[in-house]
Structures are given as structure tokens and as C-alpha cells.
């Protein structure tokens, strides 16, 4: 009986003195209040449950969403939902536990974001946050946050501006501007098409004029007389009766059937 109890107690102690570190995590031992500098990767970690605990910290990419009012260059507030993709540097896990605490990184990262976003967005117009300039704004905020947070053990992978809501008046003005630009592009297309059509007609007319000029220049007196001789020769070969009125140069053929 005593042996069985000893086995059970030993098994329980082994269970409680072993921690499992999963993929995407690191473990740091805290022995009597002091943090161990050793970083434990995925797998099992043995420790004394009476004096030591194992603190698990995630090192995979995390997503933090923030609702914020972003200031613009003209003094407007743009409502947006922001996603911050970040991850913890494994080597900095003990320092993060000591200086920030477990689970408190959200407060630190969000505070740094609000400060960086206010500084960056104030240099852009509100409409820029809803245009191709948005990627530039995201990049600048990411770089500014990285300068502060990377030494603290956090790598900012990306800052994504989502669900941007411009002030009602500005949104309407942007839509009207886009419609005006589209209308101008449409008119430009029509004018360009008409211009090409006019060029085509001009080239066609020039071609017709040049052809007529060549034909006119080619109809010399000698050619006309030669064609008249050919016409008389063809008439002479025909067996049909014909009435020919001519001055000896140009024949005029009258069909006898039409005279009846």
C-alpha cells in the first residue's frame, strides 16, 4: 500500500514538475522570483514546482486591432480600424517579462502606435488615407514604431489601415472629384477619337486627290489619240451594224436598235 502511494505521489510530482512548450512559444523559468536568462524552446521543460514556475511567451505573429481617430493635415479626424501585426523577439523574452510583464504588451504597442500614427498622419491630407498614399502612410507608421519597439523586443511586421471613414463632407467632395476626373477622361477619349477620324478622312481625301492628279497628268494628247485608234479598231472587228459619227479623231457610237 505504501509503495502504491509513493508511486502515485512520485507520478504527480513528475506531472507538476514538467511544462510543455508548444510551437510558437518560448518558456522562461522564474526561480524564487528571479528570471533565468535561458530561453526554452518547444518541448518539455523540467522544474521544481515548489520553487520554480515556467512562464510561456508567444513568439508567433500576433494581430492587434485598434479603433482610432487619425488626425489629418487639414485638421480633420479620420475614423479607421487599424491592424498591427507584430511578434516578440525570443531572445528578449526575459527582458519583456521583467520590464513590461506578461500580457501587457498590448498597452505598450497601442500607445506607441497612437503617438506614431498622430505624427505621421498629420503630414498627410485626409483624402490620402483613402488613396494610393495609404501604403506610404502605413510604411512610415511601421518604421516609426519599429524604432521604439524593436529595442524593447517587439518586431512590427506591418500596420494596416482598414475601414477608413472620411468625414461626410470630404467623402462627398472626393466622390465628386473622382466623377469629374472620369468625365474629363471620357471627353478626352472622345476628342482623341474624333481627331483620329478627322486625320483618317484627311489622308483618304489626299489619297483621292493624288490619284486624280496622277490620272489627269497621264491623259496626254498622244494617249487620247492612241485610245481613239484602239476604239476604231475594236469597232471594225465587230460584225454588228453601227452608226459612227466622228470627226476622225473621237468616235461616237450610236446603237441602231435604240434609234427604232
**% of the chain surpassing 90 pLDDT:** 24
Grid cell at residue 184: 474629363
Per-residue pLDDT at 44 = 81
- Quick: pLDDT tens for 81-109: 999 999 999 999 999 988 888 888 889 99
With bands split at pLDDT 50, 70 and 90, how would you rate the model's confidence at 164?
A: confident
Compare 80 and 219 and report the one with higher pLDDT: 80
Domain contains 51: yes
Q: Are residues 66 and 167 in the same domain?
A: yes
pLDDT band at 188 (very low <50, low <70, confident <90, very high): confident
Three-state SS for 177-232 is HHHHHHHHHHHHHHHHHHHHHHHHHHHHHHHHHHHHHHHHHHCCHHHHHHHHHHHH
Together in a domain, 115 and 39: no
- Between 220 and 166, residue with greater pLDDT: 166
Q: What is the mean pLDDT of residues 178-184?
A: 72
Q: Is residue 187 part of a domain?
A: no
Task: Tell whether 198 is covered by a domain.
Answer: no
Cβ neighbour number for residue 47 with a 10 Å cutoff: 19
Residues 40 and 102 in one domain: no
Same structural domain, 83 and 164: yes
Q: What is the pLDDT of residue 9?
A: 47
* Residue that terminates a domain, selected from 171, 205, 237: 171
pLDDT of residue 151 exceeding 90, the answer is yes
Same domain? 71 vs 148: yes
Question: What's the CATH code of the domain at 152?
Answer: 3.30.479.30
Q: What range defines the domain where residue 21 resides?
A: 2-58
Q: Are 86 and 113 in contact (CB under 8 A)?
A: no
What pLDDT does residue 258 have?
44
Which grid coordinates are listed for 5? 502511494
Instruction: Decide if 82 contacts 113 (C-beta within 8 A).
Output: yes
74 with 44, same domain: the answer is: no
- The pLDDT of residue 155 is 94
3-state secondary structure of 100: coil
* Residues 73 and 153 reside in one and the same domain: yes
Residue range 193-229, pLDDT digits in tens: 888 888 888 888 888 887 777 766 665 666 666 666 6
Give me the residues paired with residue 66 across strands.
Answer: 82
Q: 7 or 45, which is more confident?
A: 45
The total number of structural domains that make up the chain: 3
- Domain membership flag for residue 92: yes
pLDDT band at 253 (very low <50, low <70, confident <90, very high): very low
Predicted TM-score (pTM) of this structure: 0.59
Q: Please provide the average confidence, as pLDDT, over all residues in the chain.
A: 79
- Claim to verify: residue 117 and residue 42 sit in the same structural domain: no
Q: What integer pLDDT is reported at residue 202 of this predicted model?
A: 86
152 shares a domain with 101: yes
Higher pLDDT, 202 or 250: 202
**Mean pLDDT (whole number) for 115-125:** 90
Q: How much of the chain, in percent, has pLDDT values that exceed 70?
A: 71
| DSSP SS3 for 61 | coil
Half-sphere exposure of 167 (CA within 13 A, CB side): 15
Residue 170 has what pLDDT? 58
Let me know if residue 181 belongs to a domain: no
d(CA 195, CA 29): 79
Q: Which of 115, 116, 136 is nearest to 124 (CA)?
A: 136
Same domain, 41 and 71: no
Do residues 77 and 165 share a domain?
Answer: yes
Name the pLDDT band for 257 (thresholds 50, 70, 90): very low
Whether residues 71 and 146 fall in one domain: yes
Q: Label residue 110 by pLDDT band (50, 70, 90).
A: very high
243 sits in the region (left: phi over 0; alpha: psi -120 to 50; else beta) called beta
Amino acid at each position: 500500500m505504501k509503495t502504491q502511494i509513493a508511486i502515485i505521489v512520485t507520478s504527480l510530482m513528475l506531472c507538476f514538475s514538467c511544462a510543455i512548450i508548444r510551437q510558437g512559444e518560448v518558456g522562461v523559468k522564474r526561480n524564487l522570483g528571479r528570471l533565468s536568462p535561458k530561453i526554452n524552446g518547444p518541448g518539455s521543460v523540467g522544474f521544481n514546482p515548489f520553487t520554480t514556475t515556467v512562464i510561456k511567451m508567444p513568439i508567433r505573429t500576433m494581430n492587434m486591432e485598434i479603433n482610432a481617430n487619425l488626425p489629418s493635415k487639414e485638421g480633420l479626424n479620420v475614423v479607421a480600424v487599424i491592424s498591427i501585426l507584430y511578434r516578440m523577439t525570443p531572445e528578449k523574452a526575459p527582458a519583456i517579462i521583467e520590464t513590461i510583464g506578461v500580457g501587457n504588451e498590448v498597452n505598450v504597442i497601442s500607445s506607441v502606435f497612437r503617438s506614431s500614427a498622430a505624427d505621421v498622419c498629420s503630414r498627410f491630407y485626409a483624402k490620402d488615407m483613402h488613396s494610393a498614399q495609404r501604403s506610404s502612410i502605413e510604411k512610415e507608421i511601421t518604421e516609426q514604431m519599429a524604432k521604439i519597439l524593436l529595442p524593447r523586443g517587439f518586431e512590427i511586421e506591418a500596420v494596416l489601415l482598414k475601414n477608413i471613414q472620411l468625414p461626410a463632407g470630404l467623402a462627398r467632395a472626393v466622390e465628386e472629384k473622382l466623377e469629374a476626373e472620369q468625365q474629363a477622361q471620357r471627353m478626352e477619349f472622345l476628342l482623341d477619337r474624333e481627331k483620329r477620324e478627322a486625320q483618317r478622312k484627311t489622308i483618304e481625301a489626299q489619297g483621292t486627290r493624288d490619284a486624280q492628279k496622277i490620272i489627269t497628268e497621264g491623259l496626254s494628247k498622244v494617249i487620247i489619240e492612241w485610245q481613239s485608234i484602239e476604239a476604231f479598231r475594236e469597232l471594225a472587228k465587230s460584225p454588228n451594224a453601227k452608226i459612227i459619227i466622228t470627226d476622225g479623231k473621237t468616235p461616237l457610237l450610236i446603237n441602231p436598235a435604240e434609234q427604232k
